Protein backbone atom coordinates (compact mmCIF):
# COMPACT_ATOMS: atom_id res chain seq x y z
CA UNK A 1 0.00 0.00 0.00
CA UNK A 2 1.08 3.55 -0.56
CA UNK A 3 2.23 5.45 2.50
CA UNK A 4 0.17 8.45 3.56
CA UNK A 5 2.00 11.58 4.76
CA UNK A 6 2.16 12.42 8.45
CA UNK A 7 2.94 15.69 10.22
CA UNK A 8 6.49 15.50 11.69
CA UNK A 9 5.69 18.20 14.27
CA UNK A 10 2.63 16.29 15.42
CA UNK A 11 4.64 13.06 15.64
CA UNK A 12 7.17 14.87 17.81
CA UNK A 13 4.41 16.34 20.00
CA UNK A 14 2.75 12.94 20.45
CA UNK A 15 6.03 11.29 21.44
CA UNK A 16 6.80 14.14 23.84
CA UNK A 17 3.39 13.92 25.48
CA UNK A 18 3.66 10.14 25.78
CA UNK A 19 7.14 10.35 27.33
CA UNK A 20 6.53 13.24 29.73
CA UNK A 21 3.39 11.62 31.12
CA UNK A 22 4.76 8.06 31.16
CA UNK A 23 1.98 6.75 28.93
CA UNK A 24 1.88 3.55 26.92
CA UNK A 25 0.72 3.58 23.29
CA UNK A 26 -2.65 2.01 24.25
CA UNK A 27 -3.19 4.66 26.95
CA UNK A 28 -2.42 7.55 24.63
CA UNK A 29 -4.41 6.08 21.75
CA UNK A 30 -7.45 5.69 24.02
CA UNK A 31 -7.22 9.36 25.02
CA UNK A 32 -6.95 10.36 21.36
CA UNK A 33 -9.81 8.12 20.27
CA UNK A 34 -7.80 5.98 17.84
CA UNK A 35 -6.47 2.42 17.87
CA UNK A 36 -2.98 1.62 19.24
CA UNK A 37 -2.05 0.25 15.79
CA UNK A 38 -3.01 3.50 14.07
CA UNK A 39 -1.07 5.56 16.62
CA UNK A 40 2.01 3.36 16.29
CA UNK A 41 1.95 3.64 12.50
CA UNK A 42 1.44 7.40 12.68
CA UNK A 43 4.26 8.01 15.16
CA UNK A 44 6.62 5.81 13.12
CA UNK A 45 5.62 7.54 9.86
CA UNK A 46 4.37 4.26 8.39
CA UNK A 47 0.72 5.14 7.92
CA UNK A 48 -0.90 2.94 5.27
CA UNK A 49 -4.38 4.51 5.09
CA UNK A 50 -6.02 7.92 5.04
CA UNK A 51 -5.89 9.57 8.50
CA UNK A 52 -9.10 11.49 7.67
CA UNK A 53 -8.43 14.71 9.51
CA UNK A 54 -6.59 13.11 12.41
CA UNK A 55 -3.83 15.75 12.36
CA UNK A 56 -6.04 18.72 13.17
CA UNK A 57 -8.14 16.86 15.69
CA UNK A 58 -5.03 15.45 17.40
CA UNK A 59 -3.61 18.95 17.91
CA UNK A 60 -6.85 19.99 19.61
CA UNK A 61 -6.81 16.83 21.72
CA UNK A 62 -3.22 17.39 22.83
CA UNK A 63 -4.16 20.90 23.90
CA UNK A 64 -7.10 19.53 25.88
CA UNK A 65 -4.98 16.75 27.40
CA UNK A 66 -2.40 19.30 28.58
CA UNK A 67 -5.15 21.31 30.27
CA UNK A 68 -6.46 18.08 31.81
CA UNK A 69 -3.17 17.50 33.61
CA UNK A 70 -3.22 21.03 35.03
CA UNK A 71 -6.81 20.79 36.27
CA UNK A 72 -6.94 17.24 37.63
CA UNK A 73 -6.15 18.26 41.19
CA UNK A 74 -8.93 20.84 41.44
CA UNK A 75 -11.86 19.02 39.80
CA UNK A 76 -13.91 16.14 41.12
CA UNK A 77 -17.09 14.29 40.24
CA UNK A 78 -20.23 14.89 42.27
CA UNK A 79 -23.97 14.55 41.72
CA UNK A 80 -24.18 18.02 40.19
CA UNK A 81 -21.33 17.23 37.80
CA UNK A 82 -23.05 14.01 36.74
CA UNK A 83 -26.28 15.92 36.09
CA UNK A 84 -24.42 18.45 33.92
CA UNK A 85 -22.65 15.69 32.00
CA UNK A 86 -25.92 13.83 31.50
CA UNK A 87 -27.50 16.90 29.89
CA UNK A 88 -24.43 17.44 27.71
CA UNK A 89 -24.78 13.86 26.49
CA UNK A 90 -28.45 14.49 25.65
CA UNK A 91 -27.46 17.52 23.61
CA UNK A 92 -24.66 15.53 22.01
CA UNK A 93 -26.98 12.71 20.94
CA UNK A 94 -29.47 15.11 19.40
CA UNK A 95 -26.66 17.12 17.69
CA UNK A 96 -28.52 20.22 18.84
CA UNK A 97 -27.74 23.52 20.53
CA UNK A 98 -28.76 23.67 24.17
CA UNK A 99 -28.51 25.86 27.27
CA UNK A 100 -27.55 24.76 30.78
CA UNK A 101 -27.77 27.13 33.74
CA UNK A 102 -27.25 27.10 37.49
CA UNK A 103 -26.60 29.53 40.30
CA UNK A 104 -23.10 31.03 40.17
CA UNK A 105 -20.60 29.09 42.22
CA UNK A 106 -22.02 25.57 41.99
CA UNK A 107 -19.49 24.48 39.38
CA UNK A 108 -20.74 24.88 35.81
CA UNK A 109 -17.22 25.78 34.69
CA UNK A 110 -15.58 22.91 36.58
CA UNK A 111 -18.16 20.48 35.18
CA UNK A 112 -17.57 21.71 31.63
CA UNK A 113 -13.79 21.40 31.98
CA UNK A 114 -14.10 17.96 33.53
CA UNK A 115 -16.28 16.87 30.61
CA UNK A 116 -13.63 18.09 28.18
CA UNK A 117 -10.96 16.22 30.09
CA UNK A 118 -12.94 13.02 29.69
CA UNK A 119 -13.78 13.81 26.08
CA UNK A 120 -10.66 15.49 24.66
CA UNK A 121 -12.15 15.74 21.16
CA UNK A 122 -14.59 18.31 22.57
CA UNK A 123 -13.81 22.02 22.51
CA UNK A 124 -14.12 24.35 25.52
CA UNK A 125 -14.14 28.13 25.32
CA UNK A 126 -14.80 30.57 28.15
CA UNK A 127 -16.13 33.89 26.86
CA UNK A 128 -14.64 37.06 28.28
CA UNK A 129 -16.69 40.09 29.23
CA UNK A 130 -15.75 41.61 25.85
CA UNK A 131 -17.28 38.76 23.86
CA UNK A 132 -20.63 39.96 22.62
CA UNK A 133 -21.40 39.77 18.91
CA UNK A 134 -20.93 37.11 16.25
CA UNK A 135 -17.45 38.17 15.18
CA UNK A 136 -16.21 38.12 18.78
CA UNK A 137 -17.80 34.69 19.30
CA UNK A 138 -16.03 33.47 16.16
CA UNK A 139 -12.67 34.68 17.48
CA UNK A 140 -13.28 32.88 20.80
CA UNK A 141 -13.92 29.53 19.09
CA UNK A 142 -10.98 30.05 16.74
CA UNK A 143 -8.68 30.68 19.73
CA UNK A 144 -9.93 27.51 21.45
CA UNK A 145 -8.67 25.21 18.70
CA UNK A 146 -5.14 24.50 17.54
CA UNK A 147 -5.08 26.81 14.51
CA UNK A 148 -1.44 26.72 13.44
CA UNK A 149 -2.40 25.42 10.00
CA UNK A 150 -4.52 28.49 9.20
CA UNK A 151 -2.70 30.55 6.57
CA UNK A 152 -5.23 33.34 6.24
CA UNK A 153 -6.28 32.14 2.79
CA UNK A 154 -9.82 31.58 4.07
CA UNK A 155 -12.01 33.42 6.55
CA UNK A 156 -12.11 32.17 10.13
CA UNK A 157 -15.71 31.15 9.51
CA UNK A 158 -14.78 29.02 6.51
CA UNK A 159 -11.80 27.54 8.36
CA UNK A 160 -13.89 26.56 11.39
CA UNK A 161 -16.82 25.22 9.38
CA UNK A 162 -14.54 23.06 7.22
CA UNK A 163 -12.76 21.82 10.30
CA UNK A 164 -15.86 20.86 12.28
CA UNK A 165 -18.41 19.86 9.62
CA UNK A 166 -19.53 16.28 10.11
CA UNK A 167 -17.15 15.67 13.05
CA UNK A 168 -19.89 15.54 15.74
CA UNK A 169 -17.47 17.20 18.16
CA UNK A 170 -19.09 18.83 21.18
CA UNK A 171 -18.48 22.56 21.59
CA UNK A 172 -18.77 23.83 25.19
CA UNK A 173 -19.22 27.60 25.57
CA UNK A 174 -18.91 28.99 29.10
CA UNK A 175 -20.31 32.37 30.19
CA UNK A 176 -22.54 32.44 27.12
CA UNK A 177 -24.92 34.83 28.88
CA UNK A 178 -22.46 37.54 27.82
CA UNK A 179 -23.47 37.10 24.19
CA UNK A 180 -25.75 39.52 22.42
CA UNK A 181 -28.49 38.07 20.21
CA UNK A 182 -26.03 38.44 17.33
CA UNK A 183 -23.54 36.24 19.20
CA UNK A 184 -26.15 33.57 19.98
CA UNK A 185 -27.21 33.61 16.34
CA UNK A 186 -23.60 32.95 15.30
CA UNK A 187 -23.59 29.72 17.32
CA UNK A 188 -26.98 28.70 15.91
CA UNK A 189 -25.67 29.27 12.38
CA UNK A 190 -22.47 27.38 13.16
CA UNK A 191 -24.45 24.40 14.45
CA UNK A 192 -26.58 24.42 11.32
CA UNK A 193 -23.48 24.45 9.09
CA UNK A 194 -21.48 21.81 10.98
CA UNK A 195 -24.18 19.74 12.72
CA UNK A 196 -21.93 19.79 15.79
CA UNK A 197 -23.70 19.84 19.16
CA UNK A 198 -23.16 23.09 21.06
CA UNK A 199 -23.71 23.60 24.79
CA UNK A 200 -24.13 27.14 26.09
CA UNK A 201 -23.45 27.48 29.82
CA UNK A 202 -25.39 30.50 31.05
CA UNK A 203 -26.67 32.26 34.14
CA UNK A 204 -30.26 33.04 35.03
CA UNK A 205 -31.88 35.68 32.84
CA UNK A 206 -30.42 34.37 29.60
CA UNK A 207 -33.49 32.30 28.78
CA UNK A 208 -35.77 35.31 29.21
CA UNK A 209 -33.77 37.22 26.59
CA UNK A 210 -33.94 34.30 24.18
CA UNK A 211 -37.69 33.89 24.65
CA UNK A 212 -38.22 37.43 23.42
CA UNK A 213 -36.77 36.42 20.04
CA UNK A 214 -39.04 33.91 18.29
CA UNK A 215 -36.40 32.94 15.72
CA UNK A 216 -33.84 32.02 18.38
CA UNK A 217 -36.39 30.28 20.60
CA UNK A 218 -37.28 27.90 17.77
CA UNK A 219 -33.61 27.06 17.19
CA UNK A 220 -32.81 26.13 20.79
CA UNK A 221 -32.89 22.55 21.99
CA UNK A 222 -32.59 21.37 25.57
CA UNK A 223 -32.77 24.18 28.12
CA UNK A 224 -32.32 23.19 31.75
CA UNK A 225 -31.62 24.86 35.10
CA UNK A 226 -29.67 22.56 37.41
CA UNK A 227 -28.95 22.68 41.12
CA UNK A 228 -27.47 20.16 43.57
CA UNK A 229 -29.64 18.71 46.32
CA UNK A 230 -29.03 19.46 49.99
CA UNK A 231 -27.55 15.97 50.38
CA UNK A 232 -25.14 16.59 47.50
CA UNK A 233 -24.06 19.92 49.00
CA UNK A 234 -23.40 18.23 52.35
CA UNK A 235 -21.19 15.69 50.60
CA UNK A 236 -19.35 18.05 48.26
CA UNK A 237 -18.66 21.09 50.46
CA UNK A 238 -16.02 19.30 52.62
CA UNK A 239 -14.37 17.99 49.44
CA UNK A 240 -13.95 21.58 48.25
CA UNK A 241 -12.19 22.40 51.53
CA UNK A 242 -9.96 19.34 51.12
CA UNK A 243 -8.70 20.70 47.81
CA UNK A 244 -6.76 23.43 49.64
CA UNK A 245 -6.45 21.96 53.15
CA UNK A 246 -5.91 18.54 54.69
CA UNK A 247 -8.63 15.92 54.93
CA UNK A 248 -8.56 16.28 58.70
CA UNK A 249 -9.07 20.04 58.44
CA UNK A 250 -11.91 19.52 55.98
CA UNK A 251 -13.62 17.19 58.43
CA UNK A 252 -13.05 19.74 61.19
CA UNK A 253 -15.08 22.43 59.40
CA UNK A 254 -17.46 20.20 57.43
CA UNK A 255 -20.60 21.56 59.10
CA UNK A 256 -19.51 25.18 58.57
CA UNK A 257 -18.52 24.51 54.95
CA UNK A 258 -22.01 23.18 54.23
CA UNK A 259 -23.55 26.38 55.62
CA UNK A 260 -21.31 28.52 53.38
CA UNK A 261 -22.03 26.29 50.35
CA UNK A 262 -25.77 26.90 50.71
CA UNK A 263 -25.34 30.69 50.59
CA UNK A 264 -24.43 32.99 47.70
CA UNK A 265 -21.24 31.91 45.95
CA UNK A 266 -21.76 28.29 47.02
CA UNK A 267 -18.69 26.09 46.39
CA UNK A 268 -16.68 29.05 45.12
CA UNK A 269 -17.29 30.81 48.44
CA UNK A 270 -16.21 27.69 50.33
CA UNK A 271 -12.97 27.50 48.39
CA UNK A 272 -12.21 31.19 48.87
CA UNK A 273 -12.86 30.98 52.60
CA UNK A 274 -10.77 27.80 52.94
CA UNK A 275 -7.82 29.41 51.16
CA UNK A 276 -7.96 32.41 53.48
CA UNK A 277 -8.31 30.14 56.52
CA UNK A 278 -5.19 28.23 55.50
CA UNK A 279 -3.27 31.49 55.10
CA UNK A 280 -4.42 32.70 58.52
CA UNK A 281 -3.43 29.42 60.16
CA UNK A 282 0.01 29.47 58.53
CA UNK A 283 0.62 33.13 59.38
CA UNK A 284 -0.60 33.20 62.99
CA UNK A 285 1.06 30.69 65.32
CA UNK A 286 -1.37 31.64 68.07
CA UNK A 287 -4.32 30.24 66.09
CA UNK A 288 -4.74 26.70 67.37
CA UNK A 289 -7.19 25.16 64.87
CA UNK A 290 -8.35 25.31 61.28
CA UNK A 291 -11.92 25.74 62.54
CA UNK A 292 -10.94 28.95 64.31
CA UNK A 293 -9.12 30.15 61.20
CA UNK A 294 -12.18 29.31 59.07
CA UNK A 295 -14.37 31.43 61.34
CA UNK A 296 -11.87 34.29 61.21
CA UNK A 297 -11.79 34.08 57.42
CA UNK A 298 -15.57 34.35 57.39
CA UNK A 299 -15.34 37.68 59.22
CA UNK A 300 -12.76 39.01 56.75
CA UNK A 301 -14.80 38.23 53.63
CA UNK A 302 -17.98 39.85 52.30
CA UNK A 303 -20.69 37.78 53.97
CA UNK A 304 -24.24 38.82 54.93
CA UNK A 305 -24.81 35.93 57.34
CA UNK A 306 -23.12 34.62 60.48
CA UNK A 307 -21.82 31.17 61.24
CA UNK A 308 -23.41 29.53 64.30
CA UNK A 309 -21.39 29.69 67.50
**The pLDDT of residue 217:** 87
Whether 42 and 131 share a structural domain: no
Is the domain of 213 the same as that of 91? yes
Last residue of a domain, one of 203, 225, 247: 225
pLDDT score of 213:
85
192: three-class secondary structure by DSSP: helix
Q: In Å, how far from its chain's centre is CA 204?
A: 19
* Rounded mean pLDDT, 31-56: 86
- If asked whether residues 116 and 185 sit together in one domain, one would say yes
CA distances to 36, 41, 242 from 32, in Å:
10, 14, 31
3-state SS, residue 308: coil
**CATH label of the domain that carries residue 24:** 1.10.260.40
Q: How far, in Å, CA of 306 to CA of 309, rounded?
A: 9
Sorted by sequence, the CB contacts under 8 Å of residue 273 that are 6+ apart come out as 260, 294, 297, 298, 301
What is the pLDDT at residue 78?
Answer: 76
Q: Is residue 73 part of a domain?
A: no
Q: Kindly state whether residues 45 and 84 are assigned to the same domain.
A: no
How many domains in the chain? 3
Q: At what angle do helices 36-43 and 25-32 cross, to 10 degrees?
A: 100
28 and 148 co-located in one domain: no
Number of residues assigned to the chain: 309
Statement to judge: residues 153 and 39 lie in one domain:
no
* Domain carrying residue 152: 79-225
* pTM for the structure as a whole: 0.73
Cα–Cα distance, 229 to 115 (Å, whole number): 21
Q: Is residue 206 part of a domain?
A: yes
Tell me how far apart the alpha carbons of residues 127 and 178 are, in angstroms, rounded to a whole number. Answer: 7
Q: In this structure, what CATH number is given to the domain that contains residue 160?
A: 3.40.50.300
Q: What does each C-alpha distance from 41 to 5, 6, 11, 60, 150 come to in angstroms? A: 11, 10, 10, 20, 26
Let me know whether 221 and 91 are in one domain: yes
CB distance 126 to 120 below 8 Å: no
Residues 114 and 38 in one domain: no
287 lies in some domain: yes
Confidence check: pLDDT of 77 > 70: no
DSSP 200: E
Q: Which residues contact 279 (CB under 8 A, 6 or more apart)?
A: none
pLDDT digits (tens, 9 = 90+) for 94-128: 999 999 999 888 889 889 988 998 888 899 999 99
| CA–CA dist 126, 18 (Å, integer) | 28
Q: What is the mean pLDDT of residues 67-89?
A: 73
Q: CA 164, CA 151: separation in Å to the nearest integer? A: 17
> Is residue 196 domain-shared with residue 261, that is, in the same domain?
no
Higher confidence at residue 253 or residue 17? 253
pLDDT surpasses 70 at 61: yes
**Same domain membership, residue 216 and residue 86:** yes
Containing 202, the helix (H) or strand (E) segment is strand 198-202
> Residue 97, SS3?
strand
234 by Cβ neighbours in 10 Å (0-12 / 13-18 / 19+) ranks as middle
Task: Give me the pLDDT at residue 134, please.
Answer: 95
Contacts of 166 (CB under 8 A, 6+ apart): 194, 195
Amino acid sequence: MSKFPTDPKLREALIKHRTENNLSNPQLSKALGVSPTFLSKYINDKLDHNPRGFDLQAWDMLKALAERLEMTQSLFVCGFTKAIHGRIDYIRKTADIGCLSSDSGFGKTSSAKLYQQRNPSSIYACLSDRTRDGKQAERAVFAAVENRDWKGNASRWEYLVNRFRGSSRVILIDNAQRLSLSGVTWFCDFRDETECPIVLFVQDGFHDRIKRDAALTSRMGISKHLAPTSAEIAKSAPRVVAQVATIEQAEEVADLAVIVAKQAGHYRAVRKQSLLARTILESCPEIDSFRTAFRMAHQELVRDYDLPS
